[in-house]
């Protein structure tokens, strides 16, 4: 299943939570690690000699100062490229971004990610001279998701843990799962951590008063935790201030204004957040033929939730069937578009297009779907771009998981799309408008597994405030 988290963290109880929660002073003044190095980008001579320079004949309506951030967790490096020149500005070494929690862009040009090597929330400033400007040690636990509030005042990091005494419910005999929510002040990098009852927690952050929304898949509920209560109760166990029931196996969240949405087995569960409390609104059913979604994204204006649904029944991945699935959060109306069969893992989103990469036995394909509400082409595929088969990619007769993959990111305007080739160190640059490849970027590392890509446009407000 896409994006399903496998395995749990080592056992850690409340005592460990209190011991490992760093103080504000320690977090704000955390020294750089010995391996935390920034190397400068390409020289003009190297750029001139580099093959596959991007064709400049396409529309370059990209945001001013945009940066392509390329994470290579396998190599513990992060590369930053200018757009549209695609000149490498810098490489950060000694950092291993979490693929599951993803990256999250802020309006001021910072990018947040969780470093799995040092177990820290990292703030990377990509404008000017790219550099790490904050590193917050996190309590022990397996990080699952990160989110920020719309004003970019706080971040919340969710992690899974279990009591070291493996406390069991007297009624069910099942193990009681717990999670940790760490609230980080994005001005001072001061953390405040609390323990909550959870399985593998999902999080959102918003509302008035400012509230953390916690998807508790242990109890199949969506819960609220006021930020003020987290700040006041740091180091302890916290109970939710309100909750609503959800379907089972929740995974994939988005907050559109006061509407909180969670993908579950039942459908896209929607609740309204008002005055710090939740009330159920509706459940949008999944398409009958292609099952459910696990990975959702929200358009920049919050008017459109975009995802895909997959039927991965059977062992033969080349027959797995996928649909693009678009939902209006305000009304629950949905549009379904058949993408085809093959192996699909995540997707990219811009103001105009969603980009989906299907790995197939005969060659890989990128499909672009119009996501502009009101457009005559809304929900329709506008272009298919063929890519070659990826060496080391999914093979017929074997599981596709753990093979070389492709990842995609789009410039927010939709002028350019970037598709990585795992194991090749190559990123294809595509024009969705023209439906063709217009160039390539060669990275210093192999991008084993496909890496992770995101585009940052400083000054841009984006309603999607969950790490991807």
Express each pLDDT in 368-415 by its tens digit.
999 999 999 999 999 999 999 999 999 999 999 999 999 999 999 999
Spatial separation of the C-alpha atoms in residues 262 and 127, rounded to whole Å: 33
Q: Is the pTM of this model over 0.75?
A: yes
Q: pLDDT by residue (tens digit) across 217-244?
A: 999 999 999 999 999 999 999 999 999 9
Question: CA nearest 166: which of 177, 155, 158?
Answer: 177
Only one residue has tokens 């990975």, namely 295
138 with 119: CB under 8 angstroms?
yes
Tell me how far apart the alpha carbons of residues 460 and 327 are, in angstroms, rounded to a whole number.
23
Question: What's the residue count for the chain?
Answer: 468
Preceding omega of 221 cis (within 30 degrees of 0): no
Yes or no: say if 16 and 9 are a contact pair by the CB < 8 Å rule: no
Tell me if residue 448 falls in helix, strand or coil: helix
* CB atoms near residue 20 (< 10 Å): 16
What mean pLDDT, rounded, does the chain reach? Answer: 88
For residue range 237-273, list pLDDT tens digits in order: 999 999 999 999 999 999 999 999 999 999 999 999 9
**Are 227 and 154 a contacting pair, CB within 8 Å?**
yes
Task: Kindly give, in sequence order, each residue whose CB lies less than 8 Å from that of residue 458, ignoring residues fewer than 6 positions away.
Answer: 65, 107, 108, 109, 127
Give the H or E element holding residue 49: helix 44-49
CA angle centred on 352, ends 349 and 354, rounded to 5°: 35
Residue keyed to tokens 């005969």: 362
**pLDDT digits 0-9 by tens, 69-78:** 999 999 999 9
Rounded distance between C-alpha atoms, residue 252 and residue 346, angstroms: 11
pLDDT value of position 89: 97
Which of the residue ranges 78-92, 160-174, 363-377, 412-426 would you say has the lowest mean pLDDT?
160-174
Give, in order, the Cα–Cα distances in Å from 426 to each of 68, 70, 403: 14, 11, 16
The 3-state DSSP class for residue 273 equals strand
The residue extents of the domains of the chain are: 1-31+138-284
Instruction: Determine contact, residues 158/179, Cβ cutoff 8 Å.
Output: yes
């Amino acid at each position: 299943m896409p994006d399903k988290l496998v395995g749990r963290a080592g056992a850690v109880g409340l005592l460990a939570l209190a011991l490992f929660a760093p103080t504000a002073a320690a977090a704000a003044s955390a020294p750089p690690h010995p391996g935390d190095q920034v190397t400068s980008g390409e020289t003009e001579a190297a750029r001139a000699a580099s093959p596959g320079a991007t064709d400049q004949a396409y529309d370059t309506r990209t945001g001013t100062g945009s940066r392509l951030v390329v994470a290579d967790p396998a190599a513990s490096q992060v590369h930053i490229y200018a757009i549209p020149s695609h000149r490498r500005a810098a490489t950060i070494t000694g950092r291993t971004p979490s693929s599951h929690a993803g990256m999250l862009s802020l309006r001021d040009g910072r990018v947040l990610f969780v470093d799995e090597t040092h177990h820290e929330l990292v703030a990377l400033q990509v404008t000017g001279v790219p550099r790490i400007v904050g590193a917050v040690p996190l309590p022990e636990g397996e990080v699952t998701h990160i989110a920020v509030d719309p004003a970019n005042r706080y971040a919340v990091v969710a992690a899974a843990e279990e009591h070291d005494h493996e406390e069991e419910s007297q009624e069910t005999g099942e193990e009681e799962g717990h999670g940790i929510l760490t609230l980080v002040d994005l001005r001072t990098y001061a953390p405040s951590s609390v323990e909550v009852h959870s399985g593998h927690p999902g999080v959102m952050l918003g509302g008035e008063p400012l509230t953390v929304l916690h998807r508790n898949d242990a109890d199949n509920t969506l819960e609220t935790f006021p930020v003020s209560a987290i700040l006041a109760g740091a180091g302890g166990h916290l109970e939710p201030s309100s909750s609503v029931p959800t379907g089972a196996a929740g995974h994939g969240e988005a907050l559109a204004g006061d509407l909180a949405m969670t993908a579950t087995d039942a459908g896209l569960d929607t609740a309204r957040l008002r005055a710090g409390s939740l009330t159920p609104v509706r459940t949008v059913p999944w398409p009958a033929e292609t099952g459910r979604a696990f990975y959702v994204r929200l358009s920049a204006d919050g008017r459109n939730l975009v995802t895909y649904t997959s039927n991965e029944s059977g062992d033969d991945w080349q027959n797995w069937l996928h649909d693009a699935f678009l939902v209006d959060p305000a009304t629950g109306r949905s549009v379904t578009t058949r993408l085809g069969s093959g192996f699909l893992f995540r997707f990219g989103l811009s103001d105009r297009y969603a980009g989906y990469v299907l790995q197939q036995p005969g060659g890989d394909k990128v499909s672009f779907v119009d996501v502009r509400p009101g457009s005559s082409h809304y929900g329709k595929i506008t272009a298919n771009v063929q890519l070659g088969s990826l060496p080391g990619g999914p093979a017929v007769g074997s599981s596709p998981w753990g093979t070389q993959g492709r990842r995609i990111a789009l410039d927010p305007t939709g002028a350019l799309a970037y598709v990585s080739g795992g194991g090749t160190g190559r990123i294809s640059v595509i024009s969705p408008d023209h439906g063709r490849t217009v160039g390539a970027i060669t990275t210093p590392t192999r991008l084993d597994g496909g890496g992770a890509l995101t585009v940052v446009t400083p000054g841009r407000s984006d309603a999607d405030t969950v790490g991807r």
